[in-house]
Amino acid sequence: MKNILFAGLLVTTLSACSVGTPGMSVGVGLGTGIGRHIGLGTSINIPVGTNIGKAENNSIKTVEEPIVTYFDAQGKISNSAVKGGFHRQLLHRRGNEYVVQDFYSDNNRKRTDPYTVDRKHLLEFRAHPENGTLTVYAYNGNIMQQQTYQKGRLVNARY
C-alpha cells in the first residue's frame, strides 16, 4: 500500500503544468524505487499551448523563412551553402504557387526581389514568374537585370 501511495503521489507531482520558453506543457511521469537509495522513472511532456510567433512587449517578432534549396555558382543544386552560390527562401505559399526570394550565401544580400513560381519550377536555377517581373541583383547590390514575363514567355528585358 505504501508503494502505491508513493507512486500515486509521484504521478500527481509530475503531472503538474509547467510554463517554459516554448510554451505550456503537461508532464506525466512514473517511477519506482530500487532499494533505499536508488530510483528509476520516466516521464513525458505534452505541449498544450505555445507562444511561437508572438512578440513580447517592446520586442520584435521574428519569423524564420525556410530555405528551399542551395545553388552553387554554376546553378547546380547543393545540400548546403556553397561559397559563391546562393540560396532560395520560401516567403509564403498560396495554393500551388510559392513566393520565394534568392539570397547570396556569402553575404546574405538579396539576389532577387520576391517572385512567384509554381511547384514544378521551385528547384530550378533559372526559375521565373509565370506573369510578372524578375529583378536580379549583382553581388554588390546593383540591379543586374529585369525580365518581365507574360504567360511564361519573356516579353521585356533590361540588362
C-alpha cell at 71: 545553388
Kindly indicate the confidence band of residue 11, based on its pLDDT and cuts at 50, 70 and 90.
low
CB 23 within 8 A of CB 52: yes
- How far apart, in Å, are the Cα atoms of 48 and each of 18, 55, 61? 10, 19, 22
> For position 124, what pLDDT does the model report?
95
The owner of cell 550565401 is: 105
pLDDT digits (tens, 9 = 90+) for 128-156: 999 999 999 999 999 999 999 999 999 99
Model pTM score: 0.60
Grid cell locating 151:
504567360
Q: Residue 54: which residues within 8 A CB-CB, separation 6 or more?
A: 61
As a whole number, mean pLDDT of residues 98-115 equals 96
Pairwise CA distance, residues 159 & 154, whole Å: 13
User: Which tens digits make up the pLDDT trace of 23-59?
Assistant: 555 566 666 776 666 666 666 666 665 444 444 455 5
**pLDDT confidence of residue 142:** 96
Q: Contact 119/98 with Cβ under 8 angstroms?
A: yes
Asked whether residue 126 carries a pLDDT value surpassing 50, the answer given is yes
How much is the pLDDT for 94?
Answer: 87
C-alpha–C-alpha distance, residues 159 and 140, integer Å: 15
